[in-house]
Chain A
Amino acid sequence: MITFIFFLRRIAFSSVTLFVASIVIFAIIQILPGDPAQLILGMNAQADTLAALREQMGLNAPFYSRYFEWVLGIMVGDFGTSYTYSVPVSELILERLWISLPLAVMALSLSTLIAIPAGVIAASRHNKWPDVSIMGFTQLGIAIPNFWFAMLLVLVFAIKLQWMPAGGFAGWDAGIGAGILSLTLPAIALALPQASILARIMRSALLDVLAEDYMRTARAKGLTERMTLWRHGVRNAFIPVLTILGLQFSFLIAGTIIIENIFYLPGLGRLIFQAIAQRDLIVLQGLVLLLVAAVIFINLLVDAAYAMVDPRIKRAYHE
């Protein structure tokens, strides 16, 4: 029952956050310079044609009525029509989601798969060579900008070794293998800095846990060092790691904008970039809201994961 209330409250909070975010996004995009009607017609357009188009696009209606029209539309899946492509925004987004979503999932899983074992090894060999070298690598991973690392990957694996394509995306119709292959280098480039940070968090969280009394209790039961580490240490160390994992998701989204441009991937990141360049404000508005929703959703998942990992959370939330 308490679990149920816990999630009901979380979901209620998330909805309010999303609502506030939608107002903020709409307001900010309204005050950005650049008149979409002007952009469509070009700089030499006649004043009366411009006025007619503005009227037709509904740009003259008051702020609140345009906002409600937009929000109500989104609720039934209508994000409006792109100014530049003249196709529904939802169609544009859906098409590109099939590239960005797998990319994000690949990057996140890759970074977690690298970071957790690296962090555990570093902590359990504290101040010995595995720790020192892992810490050295993560230092590099944090310091190297991912776009530069992406270009390096292209040079080595695409141009020199020719294992993978240097960019572009053939579409999932060309086969799942080919699709995954073209997403691999971008996913690695995205995962590198994330994995570096995550490994460091895992290491320091685990080092804290290793000093806890209950680790000694476990050893006194007879468990070996390795069993104590995995059964008692890692799960407790996950709690701070989950927090960072949730935060990293937002950085991942920012990262895709650059990485998708480097690899010419027609994903959401590139769509954002194009929408900004072309003042396709209705696309931009919908996309940003979608990404905000994604971040909120991920944080909801992180909360659920907290409750699973740590039985104290539900209780603490109430007290």
Chain B
Amino acid sequence: MSLLEIKNLCLSFGDIEILRDIDLTIEAGEAVGLVGESGSGKSITSLAAMRLLPPSAKLTGEILFDGRDLLALGENDMCRLRGRDMAMIFQEPMTALNPVKSIGDQIAEGLRFHLGISRRAAEDKVLRLLDEVGLPPARFSPHRYPHELSGGQRQRVVIAIAIAMNPKLLIADEPTTALDVTTQAVILDLLRELAAEHDSALLLITHDLAVVAQMVDRIAVMKDGEIVERGKTLEFFRDMQHPYSKKLLAASKVKPKTVSEIKPSDKPLMAVKDLTRQYRLPRQNLFAPSRYLKAVNDVSFQIEAGESVGLVGESGCGKSTLARTLLALNKPTTGKIEFLGDDLFRLSRHALLEKRRNMQVVFQDPYGSFNPRHKVGRLVAEPLQLVKNISKLGRNERVAEALMHVGLKAEDADKYPHEFSGGQRQRIAIARAIITRPKLIVADEPVSALDVSIREQVLDLLNELSVEQGLAYLFISHDLHVVRAVTDRVLVMYQGQIVEHGATASVFDDPQHEYTKKLLAATPDLQATLQRLEKERV
């Protein structure tokens, strides 16, 4: 008997069909990967197995867990199963924990519910669990609150909650997508170890083929609510059948950018000199001196016209502070930024506006960065107020031109942002950035919210625009694959400082700084994993 057996599972909300004929089995102790892009139905499938869907969901088929039909089980029986026999780890560690309860209480809660023990009695077990997930209680008191922990540490707490009762099945829904690569590597190791130790089966849901390859025994690929292909990990990669699987695989391999021959000049587009930006930290007590955090610490670099420069580093390393300062949205504490020959922070308001026309920005979230009540034409035209003497007709022409440059149609100007997909919205964001014909675009994680297949298209577009319009980019990302695909040079940032910089290819092939090495080693590498699996097979 299999541990989990999903047979002919169909799910609909009203008239909308979400899942069609899902068949999926997981044996005890086995690790299975469910791969697909957003909206493919992979998370919904796992929530259906936990019976955590809203009551409006109509389910048919069978979900057998340990031989019991979950769809026939009453809510009380289901509560006894959840957390005890089947547990779940979620994608977003920042929001998965209750902000007003201590982490100890949140870990103890499941124990107290299932074992009927007191808070005191659960205490020992909580300390052991914290230790087990790599949060030694000596440093991470159970009385801490979630906001006092980093993203990776919070995910460890979520894992502690999940393994508390030694569940037979652990469902991990994109457990590392919101984390840095270095953190991702340790969390994946931890998950694998704990699943083995507790003898739990693992259902890993992810969009990342490189991650799934190193974690699971079998893979199932989902698209539009159906499982389109499945197989043992190695066989699956060796002999892919379905075009969609092939497309996913192709998209996950990056083609390094053909490097443009741009030499450092004495008249760079942007020159950053000894830039430092610090924040004041809260005082320890009333009389203690103020402490400062140098978010950006003595950073110098240049960007040449038409050059694409990558900025990589983990969250909290100062990337975003640096980007805001380059855009003259923050004032530096010391140091200066020259753009087109002038120091940005010595310009008059008027002259600064003129400079802003030449530097535009593309943000990460294609959903949050548009006012939903404005039409695309108006959104894209917005930066044109930086351009003097432009008629209404000229404005419309520029909008149409920008939209066509990014692969949309001129008529799209009359639509609202919600009528577009995520990838198309990011194209609109790019259109908005290029409409003033800038010389530099700062792109802050422009593709990290996009699915892999769409990500590639957007990266291609950015590369094309750079060649066509001689655009320079500062490309900020935590994803090394992406940086490799679009940049000529790369800056590696760690704790506010640039610890390594050089041509992208040479930094990737021969990293010098310890941190860069660590970063590269932590990045999941599909080819290396497959080679290792082949070797193990022999």
Contacts and interface: CB of A to CB of B under 8 A. Distances in A.
B83 A318 contact: no
A55 interface: no
A1 B285 contact: yes
A221 B87 CA distance: 7
Given A217-B96, A222-B110, A318 B82 contact: no
Given A1-B284, A222-B113, A232 B145 contact: no
A217 B161 contact: yes
Contacts of B83: 220-223
B147 A213 contact: no
Contacts, number: 91
Contacts of B158: 217
Given A1-B284, A214-B98, A315-B147, A220 B109 contact: no
Nearest to B82: A222
A218 B109 CA distance: 9
A224 B78 CA distance: 9
Nearest to A239: B100
Nearest to B78: A222
Contacts of B285: 1, 5
B67 interface: no
Interface in A220-250: 220-225, 227, 231-232, 235-236
Interface in B85-105: 87-88, 90, 92, 95-101
Given A217-B161, A219-B52, A312-B147, A319 B282 contact: yes
Contacts of A76: none
A311 B88 contact: no
A44 B106 CA distance: 78
B100 A217 contact: no
Nearest to B97: A214
B374 interface: no
Nearest to A311: B145
Nearest to A215: B98
Interface centre among A213, A222, A227 (most CB of B within 10 A): A222
B84 interface: yes
Contact of B286 (A5, A222, A223, A319): A5
Contact of A220 (B50, B145, B286): B50
Contacts of B101: 232, 235
A211 to B, nearest CB: 11
B255 interface: no
A235 B109 CA distance: 16
B231 to A, nearest CB: 29
Interface in A274-319: 309-312, 315, 318-319
B331 to A, nearest CB: 19
B82 A220 contact: yes
A310 B146 CA distance: 11
B113 A2 contact: no
Contacts of B97: 214, 217
Contacts of B98: 214, 217-218, 232, 236
Interface in B247-304: 282-286
A223 B113 contact: yes
Given A222-B82, A223-B113, A232-B98, A216 B145 contact: no
Contacts of B234: none
A69 interface: no
B246 interface: no
Contacts of A225: 75
A5 B82 CA distance: 44
Contacts of A235: 100-101
A319 B281 CA distance: 7
B114 interface: yes
A227 B76 CA distance: 12
Contacts of B283: 5
A223 B109 contact: yes
A9 B76 CA distance: 49
A35 interface: no
A91 interface: no
A208 interface: no
Contacts of A95: none
A296 B101 CA distance: 29
B90 A309 contact: no
A309 B145 CA distance: 12
B92 A213 contact: yes
B73 interface: no
B82 A219 contact: yes
B81 interface: yes
A227 B113 contact: yes
Given A5-B285, A318-B282, A213 B96 contact: yes
Interface centre among A2, A4, A214 (most CB of B within 10 A): A214
Nearest to B165: A222
B390 to A, nearest CB: 41
Contacts of B96: 213-214, 216-217
Contacts of A217: 88, 90, 96-98, 106, 158, 161
B95 A224 contact: no
Nearest to B101: A232
Interface in B295-353: none
Contacts of B404: none
Contacts of B467: none
Nearest to A308: B100
Contacts of B147: 311-312, 315
Interface in B46-63: 50, 52
Given A213-B90, A232-B101, A220 B113 contact: no
A225 B351 CA distance: 59
Contacts of B110: 221-223
A311 B99 contact: yes
A144 to B, nearest CB: 35
Interface in B489-529: none
12 contacts: A214-B98, A216-B52, A217-B88, A217-B97, A220-B83, A221-B83, A222-B80, A222-B81, A222-B84, A222-B110, A224-B79, A310-B99
Name the 4 nearest CB pairs between A and B, nearest first. Answer: A222-B83, A318-B282, A221-B110, A213-B95
Given A224-B76, A311-B147, 4 more contacts: A213-B96, A220-B88, A232-B101, A235-B100
